[in-house]
Chain A
Amino acid sequence: MPNSFTNVYRFRIIFFSWWLVWMFVQFLVISSYGATAQQSMIDSMVCNILLAASCLLITNNMKFYLPKRERYWYVLIMSLVLSGIWLFVVKNSLKLIFRSDDTYLHFLDASIYIRYVIGFLMIGCMGIMSLLWYTLQEQQETNRRKEEAEQMTKDAELLKLRQQLQPHFLFNSLNSISALAGSQPEKARHMIQQLSDFLRGTLKRDEQQSVTLEDELHHLELYLDIEKVRFGQRLQTDIRIEETTKKLLIPSLLLQPIVENAIKYGLYDTIGEVMITLEAIEIEQQLQITITNPFDEETAVSSKGTGFGLASIYRRMFLLFARNDLLKTSKTNNIFTTILLIPQYKYESNHH
């Protein structure tokens, strides 16, 4: 049910004042035609109280029913009919009250057309106002629903982007556990624990849009611990974060896919030990995270396009911040660098 504008406090005051003023004007006009003060007052009150009631009737009617088409014709016809009924009631009421006063009855007959026109205009105005008000309400409702639908689509896409867990990682981890189960069951149990914690973190975080960097790094550590079991000495990591950045906010599950990507290109593009670094600093109220991995400039064919499989991260950053400049990559001396900027303003106004 749309919000009725007769419920708006300010409207009620204006409505009430309007009829007081109008009653007074009509009182003056009728007096000027030679009617007594008592006659003018009764005439004006009967006329305007009934007219005000008619106005409320039309607006109330439109609150409950608005035709989809030909709305203006509907208002016009409603106003014509309603003002006719109003005039009929007013005329007969006044005739009844002043049935012995011929001068007044004559005046009443003479003024019947001008009364009809005024009544029609008043009711018509009210009708048009109501029409505009309710049409606007309807549109706002439609827009709200549309926005809601768009938001839902966006959320679904973001969820999908967050959830992109690599099956390759999962199956290889399970294979490592299977291998450990035979020779070192204690280690196998430990790795199952790590994998469970990691997966639980992935599932739990889906509800939250943003977490502190500290939380995100904790999740990342779980992931790195598993990868280190898989790759052993080959995988080395160096994580350095400024103390002040720990409480800064970051979209959840953003770092892990970037690091996973860095590991993938680091490990599969080079031979021997691979060092992955992550550094977090605060610059102008933004969180800046730099991730590096080695790669081989000569053989990295896959580096074309958006480069190094970061397309989904680009997309996520765009959906979240409506900006395209938050993820930057560069290549120098066989080191691939990913720089991520997380604006903090979004969270200040819209804290989850």
Chain B
Amino acid sequence: MKAIIIDDEILARAMVKEYLQHYPDIEVLQECGDGFEGIKAIQQYQPDLIFLDIQMPKINGFEMLELIENPPSVIFTTAFEEYAIKAFESHAIDYLLKPFSKERFDKAIQKWQQQNQQERKKETLEVLNSTSLYNPQNNRIVVKDNNKIKIIPTVNIQYLEAADDYVKIHTAEGVFLKNKTMVFFEETLEAQNFIRIHRSYIINIQLITRIDPYEKESHLAVLSIGAKLPMSKAGYTKLKQALGI
């Protein structure tokens, strides 16, 4: 079994490595000090298990996980992230609160060993779908742009457009792709001035300049950047409510 430890504190990594000495069949292939190194190492080694800290430089553990296709099994190690703990509690995935004992660590490993491949995959994906709701840095979205990692503050988002399995994020700097569902963004962004006006569109309501009638009984939202986006009936009602008209 291959494992990778991702934590920005060297002593925290040493701790996990020390506890892992009792498991000769789990081999630590690399230690990473931040999420960028983590992504590279995961792509290179395709580990079975990663130990992942949440608060790390630049991108946090959740954001790192979002950027990986086919993420491996994860055991989170964290000191004090109230938000994060909430995210874990509703799932079967294990998390270790620092400082953790050898016994607690062993329990987490045993639990992981008892799961089969499919269960593991399912868990990781489930956590991924909900963690962003609890992400302490939910005012930004991290995307991959030609192998570079780009952090987009949500205030810079103009609108989101559905595109098959992806969502197109339109910003002044260009369009970025994110492997998430519209429902996911609807849930995370709703509180921050965003409204889903259509099956395929979520807009930043700060940018609305006009609402034009369009064909019969249908409307278009005109944004200050020039985009004209169709609205569904339900979307039109929601938008009117949000704008107070």
Binary CB contact string for chain B from 12 to 56 against chain A (1 if under 8 A, 0 otherwise): 101100100000000000000010100000000000000000011
B58 & A271 in contact (Cβ 8 Å cutoff):
yes
Provide the bound-state CA to CA distance between A167 and B79, in Å: 8
Which of B58, B80, B139 touches A268 (beta carbons < 8 Å)? Answer: B58
**Lowest 3 CB-CB distances: which A-B pairs, in order?**
A175-B98, A179-B15, A171-B79
In the assembled complex, A18 has its CB within 8 A of some CB on chain B? no
Residues of B close to A229: CB separation below 8 A: 11
In the assembled complex, A74 has its CB within 8 A of some CB on chain B? no
Interface-facing stretch out of A131-139, A142-150, A296-304, A317-325: A296-304
Residues of A close to B79: CB separation below 8 A: 167-168, 171-172, 175
* Min distance, Cβ B173 to any Cβ of chain A, angstroms: 10
Binary CB contact string for chain A from 154 to 198 against chain B (1 if under 8 A, 0 otherwise): 000000000000011001101111111011000000000000000
Which of A167, A168, A172, A269 touches B12 (beta carbons < 8 Å)? Answer: A172
Interface residues of A in 251-277 (CB under 8 A from B): 267-271
A270 & B58 in contact (Cβ 8 Å cutoff):
yes
Provide the bound-state CA to CA distance between A198 and B238, in Å: 53
Given contacts A171-B99, A301-B140, contact A269 B15 (CB under 8 A): no
Provide the bound-state CA to CA distance between A229 and B58, in Å: 21
A sample of 29 inter-chain contacts (CB < 8 A) reads A167-B79, A168-B79, A171-B98, A172-B12, A172-B98, A174-B98, A175-B11, A175-B99, A178-B99, A179-B11, A179-B12, A183-B14, A230-B11, A231-B8, A232-B10, A267-B57, A268-B55, A268-B57, A268-B58, A269-B58, A296-B58, A299-B58, A299-B153, A301-B137, A301-B140, A301-B151, A301-B153, A301-B155, A302-B137
Q: How many residues of B contact A (CB 8 A)?
A: 27
In the assembled complex, B9 has its CB within 8 A of some CB on chain A? yes
B14 & A179 in contact (Cβ 8 Å cutoff):
yes
A182 & B18 in contact (Cβ 8 Å cutoff):
yes
Best-surrounded residue of A177, A231, A301 (most CB of chain B within 10 A): A301
Given contacts A178-B15, A301-B140, contact A171 B57 (CB under 8 A): no
Which of B57, B139, B153 touches A269 (beta carbons < 8 Å)? Answer: B57
Provide the bound-state CA to CA distance between A176 and B14, in Å: 9
Provide the bound-state CA to CA distance between A176 and B154, in Å: 35
A175 & B15 in contact (Cβ 8 Å cutoff):
yes
Provide the bound-state CA to CA distance between A168 and B14, in Å: 19
Provide the bound-state CA to CA distance between A234 and B56, in Å: 13
Provide the bound-state CA to CA distance between A268 and B57, in Å: 4
Which of B80, B140, B154 touches A167 (beta carbons < 8 Å)? Answer: B80
Residues of B close to A178: CB separation below 8 A: 15, 99
Residues of B close to A183: CB separation below 8 A: 14, 18
Which of B11, B55, B81, B140 touches A176 (beta carbons < 8 Å)? Answer: B11
Binary CB contact string for chain A from 91 to 114 against chain B (1 if under 8 A, 0 otherwise): 000000000000000000000000
